Amino acid sequence: MATAEKLGKIATNIVLEKVAQDKLQAAYEARCQGQKPEEEAHPEANEKEEGGNDGLDDISNWREKRMQQIKEARNKQDLYRQQGHGKYEEIVEEEFLPAVTKSKLAICHFFSPTFDRCKVMDKHLTELALLHVETRFVKLNAEKAPFFSQKLHIRCLPSVVLFKDGIAVHTIVGFTELGGVDDFRRAKLERLLLKYRVIERCLGDNVSDGSDDESDNN
């Protein structure tokens, strides 16, 4: 029985080798004649090949569009950085209006340097400023900015005011919306910013390993 199986395998190999040789021979002869194998048997293939340049044109057009998109994205990134995006910086009261009106999206943290919770907020906003270059991130010492603190009804610190087109759309007061705990996850704050559309996307902090969902319930 083993011998029969062995012979069967040998016969199969011989047939496969013969098929391969025939294909190679056909390809060689076709090349010598200046045509592709089975070209005569399938004249419709010629028609497809004649239209093959359309596919190349599509690829070329796609590449051009993609290069243009990359160029526009780089120009936008350069503009953002010229406006102070991509970093989290402290400003003074005189710089407040330009900071929140010249950028379409802006976030201002009213803080006190002596409050531990303000330092926690600083840590997360520093990280988010690097991730979300589309948004301007600044902080303002509330004690040194009494005019805007009064105008924006800043009564509890930290208070993070969210701006769109120069208009305050929401204020995150303390950590109430962040679970009321000091060790909230950055992704939780990020989702809150996305809710009010002051960032364009949510990147997470190890996106969705499940642990953030557990902390959300705390």
Question: How do residues 157-168 score in pLDDT, each as one tens digit?
Answer: 999 999 999 999
The answer to which of 12-21, 64-73, 116-125 has the lowest mean pLDDT is 12-21
User: How far from the centroid of its chain's Cα atoms is residue 114's Cα?
Assistant: 35
What mean pLDDT value characterizes the chain? 80
pLDDT in tens, 23-53: 556 655 665 565 554 444 455 555 555 555 6
CA distance 78 to 98: 18
Q: How does 44-66 read in b/e, with b if 16+ C-beta sit within 10 Å?
A: eeeeeeeeeeeeeeeeeeeeeee
Instruction: Give the distance from CA 188 to its chain's centroid.
Output: 18
Q: What is the pLDDT of residue 188?
A: 96
Does residue 12 surpass a pLDDT of 60?
A: no
Coil, helix or strand for 29? helix
pLDDT at 209: 35
pTM of the model: 0.63
Would you say domain 84-205 falls under CATH 3.40.30.10?
yes
What whole-number percentage of the chain has pLDDT above 70? Answer: 67
Per-residue model confidence (pLDDT) at position 23: 57
pLDDT value at residue 215: 44
Predicted confidence at residue 208, as pLDDT, reads 38
pLDDT in tens, 60-71: 888 888 888 787
Q: What is the pLDDT of residues 184-207, one digit of tens each?
A: 999 999 999 999 999 999 987 654
pLDDT given at position 103: 93
Q: Which residue has the higher pLDDT, 12 or 82?
A: 82
